[in-house]
Amino acid sequence: MRERIAFYIRRIKAGALKSRMRQTVWIYQYARHYWLPMIFYTALGMVGTVVALLTSLVSRDLVDIITGHHAGAVVKTFALMIGLNVGSTLLNLVSSYASSYISMRVDAEIKADIFDKILVTDWESLTNYHTGDLLTRWSSDASNISSGVLNFIPNLIIYTFRFLSAFAMVVYHDWTFALFAMMGAPVSLLMTRRLIKRMSRNNQNSAAMAAKMSGFNQETFSNIQTIKAFDLVRLYIDRLKGLQKEYIDMRLKFQKMSMGTSLLMSTVGLVVSYASYGWGIFRMWRGGISYGTMTMFLSLSGTLTGTLNNLTSLFPNAISLTTSAKRLMDIVEMPREDYSQDGEVEELKERYAKEGISLCLENVKYAYRNGTEVFKSASLEAHPHEIVALVGPSGEGKTTMLRLILSLMPVQGGRAVLCGGDTGLKDGDAAGFPLSPSTRKLFSYVPQGNTMFSGTIAENMRNVKPDAGEEEIVEVLKLACAWDFVEKLPDGIHSKIKERGGGFSEGQAQRLSIARALLRRSPILLLDEATSALDVATERKVLQNIMEDAYPRTCIVTTHRPTVLNACNRVYAIRQGGCVVLGEEEIDDMIRGF
């Protein structure tokens, strides 16, 4: 016993209790917005308890009238009992509706809030979590909390009131019955302590396993073409079966423990019921109580036992809730991006709407969190009506540079700013406007791979400009050399695009992605290997159209193919942690050697 107490003291000192309290407070920051419906739900539960107790009393009187122990109006008593049962049914329906209302509203609020916070969480921190894990936390854990909000404070009040009122009624009529009814209390409390420990561990294991399976399923369905192409169907089926077996074995282990606990609790319940029944028969045989009173006591005994079990089960459920809360708090408490400069960025865009905006990086440094250094001192400039290229071997940092420009990752040294017009850092605008998450509204970005969404071509275009007219859409499709195949489609710009750009070739999907970026009419356009699936002639034509467009756009492209470098104003090669401007001779050598 002393060791057990010492164990709990160590846990409290280690912060376990404080952590649980933080998680509980976090849960009820959502639930508190619905305190009126929760009070209403609690009141309904308490009224339902009173109605149930009155039903027990009326039932007792009716039995006594029928058995001749008391005289009374049978019809009136019977009608009263029916009325109470109907009232109890209506209360249960209203209570069920209130419960559903609160759970659904809390569920929607939690999921909307978590969704919002995930989208503005620091990108590099977020990449530590698998997409499947994020989905599991967002859906399953949020739903667990919303459905369990009513399982603690409101139900704690309701069950406590039900237990105390039933206990008081039993003691009022015959205190000896209370002793029999409470025989199972020590066992319930003992089993609760055991369940809390086991359930906490099981919830953590279940959540981790669910995230693992969700991640596996998500990756499998996203890469089904690759799986088929490499003839990996059987391998992935076997992997799924392995994960399923691991999950089933884990759940069955916990289920066996639950079955043992349920069997013990059921046995205790039967012992209590039969003991109460036997004591009732003895008391009735001795003339101490009537038959109706005995049936009332048996009913109340079941209420006491059941309510006590409900009360003790709240604490394992609370452990489940706080476990889910911890998993969500791990996500929402990660560093969040700062969008406080949105207004100033809008002013910058309006101020230089005619001149355009330049991008200037000077002695930029960056290293990944694992210690890998990418840039030691990288500098580059890009101005309106220019196409600037970034070249270099795969893995040298081209995509990382674009992520730094987009502030998906923070610059760790040097300066990264935006300057008005074609002004550079050396031309007087020495301060510039620092890059931040807010400045993303000045960029259009076409990443590697297929980035089209399911829906129509027009819907994809209007994702970046909801009020775009059909003429605007056709115009940018022409600039991106996409109109030649779109106009031949039966439904034109209203043709459907399947998931992940299905129904179109890689080259067609790339041109649609470029058109969408152009439609946004952002001052700076970033193309990350965005023309890799195009033939050389089409690639040159797309870049030429961008250059000839009257809009003052600054364009930065990354490419492995040097065939378009002659169309660029400047070419930077990423070498040894820096950006080196290539001369014409070196560019020609790259083109000839391609």
Q: Which residue matches tokens 């014409």?
A: 584
* CATH code, 2-332: 1.20.1560.10
pLDDT at position 203 is 64
Dist CA 220 CA 269 (whole Å)? 48
Through-space distance between the first and last CA atoms of the chain, rounded to whole angstroms: 78
Q: Which residues contact 60 (CB under 8 A, 6 or more apart)?
A: 290, 292, 293, 295, 296
Distance CA 578, CA 397 (A): 10
Alpha-carbon distance 557 to 390, whole Å?
6
Most confident residue range from 207-211, 272-276, 345-349: 345-349
Q: Output the pLDDT for position 7.
A: 44
Cβ contacts of 568 within 8 Å, gap of 6 or more = 387, 388, 389, 543, 557
Question: How does pLDDT run across 273-300, given as a tens digit for each residue?
Answer: 677 777 777 777 777 777 777 788 777 7
Half-sphere exposure of 156 (CA within 13 A, CB side): 10
422 vs 122: which has the higher pLDDT: 122
Q: What is the pTM of this model?
A: 0.73
Sheet order of strands, 413-420 included? 373-382, 357-367, 413-420, 433-434
The answer for 335, left when phi > 0, alpha when psi is -120 to 50, beta otherwise, is beta
Question: Residue 111 has which token pair?
Answer: 């999921």
C-alpha to C-alpha distances, 527 to 43, 445, 554, 560, nearest whole angstrom: 61, 6, 11, 12
Is the pLDDT at 440 greater than 80? The verdict is: yes
Who's near 43: CB < 8 A, 6+ residues apart? none
- Which residue do the tokens 């001795």 mark? 286
Least Cα distance to 528 among 397, 367, 364 occurs for: 397
Tens-place pLDDT, residues 500-550: 777 788 888 889 999 999 998 889 999 888 777 788 888 888 888 888 888
DSSP 355-375: T-EEEEEEEEEEE-TTS-EEE
Q: What length is written for the chain?
A: 594
Contact predicate 519/471, CB 8 Å: no
Query: What angle in degrees, to the nearest 10, is found between the helix axes of 291-332 and 16-31?
Result: 100
The three state secondary structure string of 41-109 is: HHHHHHHHHHHHHHHHHHHHHHHHHHCCCCCCCHHHHHHHHHHHHHHHHHHHHHHHHHHHHHHHHHHHH
Contact present, 442 and 356 (Cβ < 8 Å): no
Per-residue pLDDT, averaged over 387-413, amounts to: 87
For residues 442-456, average pLDDT: 83
Q: What mean pLDDT value characterizes the chain?
A: 80
Q: How confident is the model at residue 435 (pLDDT cuts 50, 70, 90)?
A: very high
pLDDT tens digit sequence for 252-275: 777 776 676 667 666 766 776 677
Percentage, residues of the chain above pLDDT 70: 87
φ/ψ of residue 420, rounded to 5? -70, 140
Largest CA distance in the chain: 117
Which residue reads 């693992």 in tokens?
212
Question: Where along the chain do the CATH 1.20.1560.10 domains lie?
Answer: 2-332
Model confidence at 163: pLDDT above 50: yes
Under a CB-based contact definition with an 8 Å cutoff, are residues 357 and 442 in contact?
A: yes
Q: Could you give the CA distance from residue 521 to residue 448 in angstroms, rounded to a whole number? A: 20
Task: Considering the chain, tell me which residue range(s) the CATH 3.40.50.300 domain(s) occupy.
Answer: 342-592
Q: How far apart are CA 26 and CA 58, in angstroms?
A: 45
Alpha-carbon gap, residue 60 to 45, rounded angstroms:
23
Which amino acid is present at 25?
Answer: V
> What CATH number does the domain located at 342-592 have?
3.40.50.300
CA gap 134, 118 in Å, rounded? 9
